[in-house]
Amino acid sequence: MNKHLEVLNNLDLDKITAEEIGEDHIGTAELTPLRENAFEKTDDEKIEIIQEHFAQIMHTLGLDLEDDSLKGTPYRVAKMYVKEIFEGLNPKNKPLARQFNNNYDYNGMVIEKDIQVTSFCEHHFLPFIGKAHVAYISSGKKVIGLSKINRIVDYYSRRPQVQERLTLQIADELQEALETEDVAVYIDSKHFCVSTRGIKDTSSSTITSEFRGAFKNENTQRKFIDFIATKTDLS
Annotated catalytic residues are: 121-124, 163, 191, 193
**Per-position b or e across 209-231, b if 16+ CB within 10 A of its CB:** bbbbbbbeeeebbeebeeebeee
Q: Which residues contact 180 (CB under 8 A, 6 or more apart)?
A: 136, 137, 138, 139, 213
Chain center to CA of 151: 12
Task: Compute the distance between CA of residue 16 and CA of residue 3 in angstroms, rounded to an integer.
Answer: 15
Find the angle CA(15)-CA(161)-CA(34) to the nearest 5 degrees.
55
